[in-house]
Structure 1
């Protein structure tokens, strides 16, 4: 089988590029030939359309795309392909259901006039243009042969919002690397870990505030807990109009009196990620859903960081954002209401006072990890691809 993969790929630093890189490698290990016709263009929808026009598609059995992360190049390429080849099998992993892309490349005139104006006019224009964006998403989604989501909740929300048939849907859990199991470190001190890209909107402030609240009510726990903030800190993510986000986090840590309890592991090399995760007991993901996106729909994706916890055999405490509740329903962690600092503090207090919970969470996560290794995940994708090629 020869497929074309439309996706960002390493060395681009984002979760979808990592995902696509692992999927490509695992499919090739199964004997699938994988072409990457969009490689090198970045997130440029116009360049994507030109690549579609310039590429020889005659030997391609199926085209598979990775959609999400605010990218539009793959979406536009799929639209161009469907227009040019009505019968070509097209599939995609939708990382951010219940929508495919959530926004258009450009606002239509006259709403486009608001693009350069002061807030909130651009945001209002985006909302007013959303029916057109949703129409374009539905038009493409309904023409797709198969759409893959990482969770059942994501699949249900995508199917309902896009108006899809059950036969178009497939659920394949987020793949993960085959990581050699490692025992938990000694339970004293309890080592908590935030892992992921470090930028605004990840709820990291909630985690810091919750930890400080735990020590106010239970000061005896202060000597029994440490928190590591680890992950990518690319300048385009960590800097914004209000300055350096990392500097703001460090200031907040000092103000909360946590400086002696926080460790940093920024911009981890890929070959050190598993070692860092397994040096901790529990990963904490305090994500909040974007208030802007709530106007446009419900985000029901999952998380690459959560997949890393599973791969490394570590439990998680996470908010109920996205589809996290489904991913932490296997006895591998605890859920709390997103944005509820008191509830997060309570969850942290429970694991700190009963650290043995981390042992059971880790065992269950390890079993999940074994079932989700990329070699098996790629086999599930290959089955979906074969079925898609058989559709009349």
Structure 2
């Protein structure tokens, strides 16, 4: 009995530690849920202006819960200097998107000229979206270069996401470690580096490690176009956006996953009834996932507490049941896709 009590205490402490690391309000600069309007509900940023946009259902089916654009609209925001990251500021950005289009389009952009009213000024700013040079891939453009170092670079996911389904995208720019990552649906993506100057850095798997040349010159303040600062959602986007967030820090893997689950998951009561994971805690690294309905190709992903994806033995033994084995003792995030909306839950393995 004493052993069981100690074990339960350890499990409770582990779960508290995991959740303590996830504070989605810490460092939040602005949050745009697009629930029928383009207001920053954090109250940190200034005004916003809609141009040829409508509002439609979000990933959860909530009416007017997402921004809808037809390729010609956009939303301009006034960050009041909060997105001036310069050459030293780390930051993160996350947003949910859905599109079938494959051309160049932006989830968010503040690319422009460094100096207002100067057509030949050096470009600054950044853009996240798609690019016609990497069709269907989530693409991060970095234009922030100080004078006499005019260049640009891009980072693209190797997987495509212009499938008309809801996804989440997040970027983290860590000025301390000089690393950039792109996440889709909570998972760090293998990257392709696109640049006319390969000396700016190198991609290793899911990490872009940039060098001192870029660290010293990359200035990611917003740029000017037509005399005004550019800070816009949805430029040339034919699709939908939802739950856009800016942070003045680097989000952890667990926080990125939590944001993704928050946006894409069904309502809590529906999610609890829809997918069951048992037993939890799981003994000997084995557990079962029961789906709400038959799924021909469900996808199950398992991540450690620090965000590393692991590869357990996964077997679909029935149309509505998956058996999983081979996990070592520890705390994991289990994510199920392909059986309705994506669903995530913490699992303890003994």
TM-score, scaled relative to structure 2: 0.29
**Structure number with higher strand proportion:** 2
**Structure number with higher helix proportion:** 1
TM-score, scaled relative to structure 1: 0.27
